[in-house]
């Protein structure tokens, strides 16, 4: 069964049968305290819908957890001016599905973004850095993860291909700023390509964007440095000092200790990487808040302030 209908196309008064991703699930008490009902938030790449199942869920509800796909049949209704879904049937969907139908994806062409990364690596002067970065970005184990990884769980570039979109955006910013400041382009480009590389393991993309166990106990900064160490050690005579400088770019890119950086930036390239990363992530975050709201202003929990359209 392929996905038949997306949430953005739901219409009140219709009956639907389709596949959705479970974002939230909870057993709740019915009014009057007699019995329970199944409450869920179902989602796909176009949005989410509040969902209820009043009866006949007892045999399956323990198998339903956030992150699983379910095949449902139900009626679309309106309550307090919002669409909701009332189910007659639900089952776990175990066949192959296109995860891009259920998670938001970058609007950019992922293959073109990836080609931009490879072309940028080819433009570097340092043979050692070229080898290191090609070994990472063309590694058949890492490449599928790089193509899918989001740049964040929420807020900015939180979509399939979001990490690549973020990296390519930073490359463009870097080229502009380097026309004004005399910095080491090879180092800055390498820092851009490596600063978030650990996110290919930090986030789960098989069900919904959440932290993996590795992501929770190590984080992308530590995993990025571990990857750098492994791959640099495979290259004969890779300079120890260069490896340390690259590691510093990774561990300092959040800028401040309270924002998760083990060290604050101590080179000009590290400082610029931090600010470029901040510019791109926050402006993208602004865009996403604005695009998801019709009003002239919307409150951002991540930023703790209202964002206004201009």
In tens, the pLDDT along 161-176 reads 999 999 999 999 999 9
Beta-bridged to residue 70, according to DSSP, are 20, 92
Asked if residue 295 has pLDDT above 80, the reply is no
CA gap 217, 127 in Å, rounded? 34
Which 3-state string (H, E, C) describes 180-204? CCCCCHHHHHHHHHHCCCCHHHHEE
Asked if residue 2 has pLDDT above 80, the reply is no
CA gap 153, 106 in Å, rounded? 14
Alpha helices (H) along 71-142: 110-122, 127-137
35 vs 250, higher pLDDT = 250
Backbone angles phi, psi at 173, to 5 degrees: -65, -45
Tell me the per-residue pLDDT of 198-241, one tens digit each, with 9 for 90 and over.
999 998 876 667 788 998 999 999 999 999 999 999 999 999 99
Number of Cβ within 10 Å of residue 178's Cβ equals 15
Tell me the per-residue pLDDT of 12-58, one tens digit each, with 9 for 90 and over.
999 999 999 998 899 999 887 788 999 999 988 888 899 999 998 98
Asked if residue 134 has pLDDT above 90, the reply is yes
Asked if residue 1 has pLDDT above 80, the reply is no
Provide the whole-model pTM: 0.82
- Summarize the confidence of residues 189-197 as an average pLDDT: 98
Please, what sign has the CA dihedral across residues 276, 142, 218, 226? negative
Residue 115, pLDDT score: 98
Confidence of residue 66 (pLDDT cuts 50, 70, 90): confident
Share of the chain above pLDDT 70, in %: 97
Confidence of residue 279 (pLDDT cuts 50, 70, 90): very high
Residue 98, pLDDT score: 80
Asked if residue 191 has pLDDT above 90, the reply is yes
* DSSP letter assigned to residue 30: P
* Two structure tokens written together for 218: 């190590």
CA gap 257, 234 in Å, rounded? 31
CA gap 47, 7 in Å, rounded? 6
Name the nearest CA neighbour of 103 among 165, 38, 162, 39: 162
Residue 104, pLDDT score: 81
Asked if residue 296 has pLDDT above 80, the reply is yes
194 vs 45, higher pLDDT = 194
Residue 208, pLDDT score: 66
Confidence of residue 75 (pLDDT cuts 50, 70, 90): very high
Q: Which whole-number Å values give the CA distances from 154 to 55, 143, 157, in the listed order?
A: 34, 23, 8
CA gap 283, 156 in Å, rounded? 8
Alpha helices (H) along 20-124: 110-122
* DSSP letter assigned to residue 105: B
* Two structure tokens written together for 236: 């004969």
CA triplet 154, 117, 282: central angle to 5 degrees? 30
Beta-bridged to residue 87, according to DSSP, are 74
Q: How many angstroms from the chain centroid is the CA of residue 223? A: 16
The secondary structure element, H or E, covering residue 308 is: strand 305-308
SS3 content of the chain, % helix, strand, coil (to 5): 40, 20, 35
* Average pLDDT value for the chain: 91
DSSP string across 5-50: --GGG--TT-EEEEEEEEEEEEEEEPGGG-SEEEEEEEEETTEEEE
Tell me the per-residue pLDDT of 81-124, one tens digit each, with 9 for 90 and over.
889 999 999 999 988 888 778 888 888 999 999 999 999 999 99
Residue 265, pLDDT score: 96
Share of the chain above pLDDT 90, in %: 66
CA gap 69, 49 in Å, rounded? 14
Q: Which whole-number Å values give the CA distances from 185 to 177, 179, 247, in the listed order?
A: 10, 10, 16
């Amino acid at each position: 069964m392929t996905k038949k209908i997306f949430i953005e196309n739901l219409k009140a008064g219709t009956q639907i049968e389709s596949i959705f991703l479970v974002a939230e699930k909870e057993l709740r008490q019915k009014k009057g305290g007699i019995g329970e009902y199944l409450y869920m938030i179902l989602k796909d790449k176009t949005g989410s819908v509040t969902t209820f199942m009043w009866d006949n869920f007892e045999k399956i509800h323990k198998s339903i957890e956030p992150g699983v796909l379910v095949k449902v049949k139900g009626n679309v209704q309106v309550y307090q001016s919002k669409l909701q879904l009332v189910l007659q049937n639900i089952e776990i969907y175990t066949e192959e599905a296109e995860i891009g139908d259920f998670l938001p994806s970058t609007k950019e062409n992922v293959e073109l973004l990836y080609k931009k990364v490879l072309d940028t690596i080819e433009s570097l002067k340092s043979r050692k850095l070229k080898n290191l970065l090609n070994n990472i970005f063309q590694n058949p184990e890492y490449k599928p993860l790089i193509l899918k990884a989001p740049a964040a769980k929420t807020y900015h570039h939180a979509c399939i291909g979001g990490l690549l979109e973020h990296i390519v955006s930073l490359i463009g910013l870097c080229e502009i700023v380097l026309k004004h400041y005399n910095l080491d382009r090879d180092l800055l480009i390498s820092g851009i390509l490596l600063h978030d590389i650990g996110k290919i393991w930090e986030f789960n993309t098989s069900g919904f964007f959440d932290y993996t166990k590795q992501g929770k106990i190590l984080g992308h900064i530590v995993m990025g440095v571990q990857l750098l160490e492994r791959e640099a050690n495979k290259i004969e005579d890779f300079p120890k000092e260069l490896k340390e400088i690259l590691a510093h770019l990774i561990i300092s890119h959040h800028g401040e200790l309270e924002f998760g950086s083990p060290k604050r930036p101590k080179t000009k390239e590290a400082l610029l990487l931090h600010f470029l990363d901040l510019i791109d992530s926050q402006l993208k975050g602004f865009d996403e808040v604005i695009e998801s709201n019709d009003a002239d202003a919307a409150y951002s929990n991540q930023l703790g302030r209202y964002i206004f359209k201009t």
